[in-house]
C-alpha cells in the first residue's frame, strides 16, 4: 500500500468499540485501517455484561451465532444490605426481550474480542495494524494525517492518511486531546479492587450478580461464564491500595465467599470508577467513541454497551458521508444524539452507586429503613430516546425499535437488509400511489417490509408507517403518504 494512500476511515484503538466500528464500516464497504498499540487483544477478563440492544448490533453484524456459545443470559442482579435485605433487583433475563434477544448477558471479554477481530477477516477493505501507536494527529482541509510508530523494537515511524479519524483509544485518548474541550465531571470517583478467579472445585455461590451494600466494605459478586467468577471490592479509607493486591490479602478479602483451595486467582487490579463525558465528540474530521468519549461507573454494566452504541450510531453516518449520500453536517448528529443518551445511563449508574457505596453506618441505616418500608424496587433496562438529530423527534421517533418475530418465525432484522434504512408499513399501496413519498424513500435507499406481526407494534405507535434507521432507531412515523413525503430528510443531511 502506498505511503500516500488515503483511507476512508482510520480507527485508533481495537478494543470492543473500535472492533465493532471496523466490522460495521467493513460491511458497508469503507476503506478502513485500524491501529492498536498492543500486539493482540489482552487475554484477561475485563467487561462482563452487555444487554439485548448490543446483542442486536452483533446480530446485524452477522456474529450472533458465533457469539452465543460464549454467552450466558443473566441470572439477574440483587442489591442487598449488610443483613441480607433485598433492596433492589433486576429480574433474570427473559429469553426473548424487546430486542429479540435475552435482556442481559454475561460474557468473558477475550471471547468477544477474539470473535470481533476474527470477523474482520471477512472484509478486504479493512486493514488491521497491531503494535502501532498514534503519536500525533494533524487535520488538513480534506483529510487527517496521523503520525504513527511501531511499538516493536524497530520503532519505525510513518504517516497514515484518512478522510476521517475515530478515536476509540480509551480514557487517555490522543484524539480527545486534539479535539479539545473539557471533560464534564459528573462527580463520581471511587477506587475499587477487581478480582477475577476460576473455580477449581464446587462452591456454593449465588447465581445472580449481588451488590453487597455493606457500609463496612461494599462489594460486588458476579457469576460470569463457565467457572469464572468476579468480586469487586471497594477500597476503604485506611487501606493501602497496592497492598490489597498481595495474594494473601486478596484471599482474606474473599474469605467470606471462597477459600484458596476452591479457586485460582486469574487477575486482580485496582480501578478508579469515573463518571465523565467529553464536552466535544467531533472537531472537523476527528471523532470520539467509547471510553475516549465517556466513562461510566460499572453499577449497571453499561460501560462497554455505550461504546457499542456509539459505533452503531456513527458507522452508518460515516458511510453516508463518505459515499456522498449525505452532507458532512450529518456527523454533528452523532454527538447531539449520543451525548444525552449516554448521560442518562451514567446518571442512573451513579444513583445505584450511591446506594452501594454508602459507608456511613447512620446513612446506611436510613437507606435500609427506607427500602424496608417501601419494599424491593425493580431495576429495569433503560432505553432512553436519542437526543436531537437524524430523526423527527416526534412521538416515538428517536427511540429504539423493538424486534418482534415475523409471521414466518424470523426476527425482524433478519428479514431486513442490514445497514440500510427500512420502512415498516401497514399500507404499502398508499405509498406506491404517491410519487413524492416514493422519491423520499428512494433517496434513503429504503427497504420496505409489510408483515402481519408488525401490526400491533405499529398500532402501539399510532402509525401506519415507521422508518427505521440502519442502527434500528426509529427515524420517523407517518399515517399517510403525504406525511412520508414531508419527512425532513434534508435536515438530516440528505438532498432530494
Domain 6-72+104-183+275-351 fold is FAD/NAD(P)-binding domain (3.50.50)
pLDDT in tens, 49-79: 999 999 999 999 999 999 999 999 999 999 9
153 conformational bin, left if phi > 0, alpha if psi -120 to 50, beta if neither: alpha
Per-residue pLDDT 10s for the chain (496 aa) are 556 899 999 999 999 999 999 999 999 999 999 999 999 998 999 999 999 999 999 999 999 999 999 999 999 999 999 999 999 999 999 878 999 999 999 999 999 999 999 999 999 999 999 999 999 999 999 999 999 999 999 899 999 999 999 999 999 999 999 999 999 999 999 999 999 999 999 999 999 999 999 999 999 999 999 999 999 999 999 999 999 999 999 999 999 999 999 999 999 999 999 999 999 999 999 999 999 999 999 999 999 999 999 999 999 999 999 999 999 999 999 999 999 999 999 999 999 999 999 999 999 999 999 999 999 999 988 999 999 999 999 879 999 999 999 999 999 999 999 999 999 999 999 999 999 999 999 999 999 999 999 999 999 999 999 999 999 999 999 999 999 999 999 999 998 7
* C-alpha cell read off for 222: 458476579
CA–CA separation, 421 and 474 (whole Å): 10
CA–CA separation, 281 and 11 (whole Å): 14
Domain 412-492 fold is Glutaredoxin (3.40.30)
Kindly report the CA angle at 274 between 268 and 278, in degrees rounded to 5? Answer: 130
Between the CA of residue 202 and those of 161, 221, 262, 335, 473, what are the distances in Å? 54, 16, 7, 48, 44
pLDDT score recorded for residue 282: 98
Give the count of beta carbons closer than 10 Å to the beta carbon of residue 320.
Answer: 22
pLDDT score recorded for residue 3: 64
- The residue extents of the domains of the chain are 6-72+104-183+275-351, 412-492
Phi and psi angles of residue 159, each rounded to the nearest 5 degrees, phi first? -120, 130
- What's the predicted TM-score (pTM) here? 0.97
Q: Which residues does 92 contact at the CB level (< 8 Å), separation at least 6?
A: 73, 74, 75, 76, 208
Amino acid at each position: 500500500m502506498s505511503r500516500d494512500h488515503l483511507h476512508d476511515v482510520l480507527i485508533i484503538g481495537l478494543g470492543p468499540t473500535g472492533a465493532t466500528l471496523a466490522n460495521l464500516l467493513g460491511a458497508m464497504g469503507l476503506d478502513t485501517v485500524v491501529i492498536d498499540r498492543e500486539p493482540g487483544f489482552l487475554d484477561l477478563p475485563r467487561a462482563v455484561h452487555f444487554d439485548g440492544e448490543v446483542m442486536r448490533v452483533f446480530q446485524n453484524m452477522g456474529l450472533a451465532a458465533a457469539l452465543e456459545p460464549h454467552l450466558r443470559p443473566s441470572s439477574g442482579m440483587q442489591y442487598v444490605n449488610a443483613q441480607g435485605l433485598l433492596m433492589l433487583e433486576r429480574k433474570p433475563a427473559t429469553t426473548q426481550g424487546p430486542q429479540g434477544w435475552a435482556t442481559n448477558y454475561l460474557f468473558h471479554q477475550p471471547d468477544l474480542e477474539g470473535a470481533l477481530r476474527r470477523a474482520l477477516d471477512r472484509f478486504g477493505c479493512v486493514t488491521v495494524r497491531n503494535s502501532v501507536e498514534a503519536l500525533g494527529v494533524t487535520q488538513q482541509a480534506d483529510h487527517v494525517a496521523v503520525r504513527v510508530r511501531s511499538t516493536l523494537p524497530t520503532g519505525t515511524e510513518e504517516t497514515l492518511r484518512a478522510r476521517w479519524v475515530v478515536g476509540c483509544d480509551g480514557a487517555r485518548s490522543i484524539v480527545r486531546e486534539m479535539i479539545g474541550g473539557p471533560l464534564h465531571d459528573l462527580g463520581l470517583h471511587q477506587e475499587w479492587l477487581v478480582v477475577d478467579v476460576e473455580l477449581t472445585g464446587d462452591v456454593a455461590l449465588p447465581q445472580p450478580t449481588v451488590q453487597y451494600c455493606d457500609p463496612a466494605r461494599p462489594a460486588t459478586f458476579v457469576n460470569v461464564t463457565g467457572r469464572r467468577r468476579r468480586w469487586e471490592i471497594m477500597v476503604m479509607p485506611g487501606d493501602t491500595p497496592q497492598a490489597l493486591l498481595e495474594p494473601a490479602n486478596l484471599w482474606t478479602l474473599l474469605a467470606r465467599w471462597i477459600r484458596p483451595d476452591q479457586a485460582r486467582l486469574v487477575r486482580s487490579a485496582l480501578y478508579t470508577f469515573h463518571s465523565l463525558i467529553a464536552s466535544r465528540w467531533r472537531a472537523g474530521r476527528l471523532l470520539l467513541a467509547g471510553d475516549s468519549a465517556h466513562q461510566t461507573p460499572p453499577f449497571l454494566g453499561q460501560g462497554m454497551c455505550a461504546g457499542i452504541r456509539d459505533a452503531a450510531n456513527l458507522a452508518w453516518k460515516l458511510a453516508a458521508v463518505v459515499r456522498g449520500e449525505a452532507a458532512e453536517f450529518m456527523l454533528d448528529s452523532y454527538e447531539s444524539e449520543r451525548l444525552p443518551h449516554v448521560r442518562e445511563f451514567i446518571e442512573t449508574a451513579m444513583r445505584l452507586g450511591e446506594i452501594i457505596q454508602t459507608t456511613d453506618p447512620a446513612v446506611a441505616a436510613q437507606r435500609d429503613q427506607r427500602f424496608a418500608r417501601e419494599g424491593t424496587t425493580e431495576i429495569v433496562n433503560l432505553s432512553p430516546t436519542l437526543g436531537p438529530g437524524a430523526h423527527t423527534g416526534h412521538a416515538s421517533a428517536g427511540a429504539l425499535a423493538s424486534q418482534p418475530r415475523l409471521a414466518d418465525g424470523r426476527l425482524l432484522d433478519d428479514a431486513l437488509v442490514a445497514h440500510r434504512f427500512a420502512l415498516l408499513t401497514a399500507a404499502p399501496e398508499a405509498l406506491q400511489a404517491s410519487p413524492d413519498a416514493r422519491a423520499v424513500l428512494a433517496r434513503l435507499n429504503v427497504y420496505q417490509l409489510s408483515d402481519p406481526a408488525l401490526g400491533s407494534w405499529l398500532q402501539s405507535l399510532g402509525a401506519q408507517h415507521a422508518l427505521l434507521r440502519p442502527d434500528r432507531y426509529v427515524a420517523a412515523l407517518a399515517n399517510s403518504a403525504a406525511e412520508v413525503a414531508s419527512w425532513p430528510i434534508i435536515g438530516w443531511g440528505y438532498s432530494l
